């Protein structure tokens, strides 16, 4: 397995009970894997992991009396190493703005967590062409990383970008497959932005457009693709291990 590739398993709000979460964690525990689980399962899953790192799916941007929220400090106490920020579902369904995501990203980095920042264009933008898609993604990056240059100078290695072409995600209406060639083109573009505007020398960018056992090799064999953000396939141990084994 290529030691430079990273696989992030995003369980979303699955599974339905603690026993299933523990069983699943044992089944997919693997080196160079991050398992991002629902908040209630974090302590129990951490106890099962021998090779994987523990991840959370969100955080709040401040400590203090914020009912229902979870801070970076809370996550650190629970042994979390990674946190997903700005996932497309939260942007769409919970109306998270770039301003909110920027605050969360800063909180994660200041708190010592590795942040997996998700960016990607929806179908309405993609239909206008690749030029508009790149413009959209660039604006997300610029807004989400606003005023982070000093922070990134010290913590650039803790920032990971996950490119999520929303139009290619299976849960989206009228979704269609992305191609490795198109993904590489966008990922190269993202890396250029990270280098030119934020002076990140070796940015890590994952691909997150419905990665599964059938298409994983096509994306992960590309040198520009530094790994994958995996959703539904991470709930199926046999499928997930095929994704891991697709890394050359």
164 labelled catalytic: yes
Contact (Cβ atoms closer than 8 angstroms) between residue 191 and residue 223: no
Residues contacting 11, CB < 8 A, separation 6+? 21, 24, 35, 36, 37, 38, 57, 234, 235
* 33 close to 231: Cβ distance less than 8 angstroms: no
Catalytic annotation, pick one of 89, 96, 121, 164: 164
Q: Of residues 87, 89, 96, 121, which has the active-site annotation?
A: 87
* Known catalytic membership, residue 241: no
Is the separation of the CB atoms in 219 and 193 below 8 Å? no
List all residues 6 or more positions away from 16 whose beta carbon is below 8 Å from its beta carbon: none
Which residues in 198-215 are b (16+ Cβ under 10 Å) and which e?
bebeebbbbbbbbbbbeb
In the chain, what's the furthest Cα-to-Cα distance?
A: 47
Number of helical H runs and strand E runs in the chain:
11, 8
* Measured distance CA(177)–CA(24) in Å, rounded: 27
Active site residues: 87, 164
């Amino acid at each position: 397995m290529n030691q430079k590739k990273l696989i992030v398993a995003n369980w979303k709000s699955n599974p339905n009970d603690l026993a299933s979460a523990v069983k699943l964690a044992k089944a997919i525990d693997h080196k160079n894997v991050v398992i991002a689980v629902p908040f209630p399962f974090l302590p129990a899953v951490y106890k099962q992991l021998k090779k994987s790192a523990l991840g959370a799916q969100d955080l709040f941007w401040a400590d203090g009396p914020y009912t229902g929220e979870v801070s970076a400090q809370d996550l650190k106490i629970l042994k979390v190493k990674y946190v997903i920020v700005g996932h497309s579902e939260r942007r769409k369904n919970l109306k998270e703005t770039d301003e909110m995501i920027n605050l969360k990203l800063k909180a994660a980095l200041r708190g010592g967590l590795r942040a997996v920042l998700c960016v990607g264009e929806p179908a309405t933008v993609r239909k206008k062409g690749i030029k508009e898609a790149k413009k959209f993604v660039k604006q997300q990056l610029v807004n989400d990383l606003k005023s982070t240059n000093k922070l990134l100078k010290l913590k650039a290695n803790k920032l990971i970008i996950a490119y999520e072409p929303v139009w290619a995600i299976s849960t989206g209406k009228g979704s269609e497959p992305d191609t490795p060639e198109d993904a590489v083109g966008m990922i190269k573009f993202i890396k250029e932005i990270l280098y030119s505007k934020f002076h990140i020398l070796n940015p890590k960018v994952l691909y997150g457009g419905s990665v599964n056992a059938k298409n994983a090799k096509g994306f992960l064999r590309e040198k520009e693709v530094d790994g994958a953000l995996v959703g539904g396939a991470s709930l199926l141990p046999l499928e997930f291990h095929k994704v891991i084994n697709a890394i050359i």
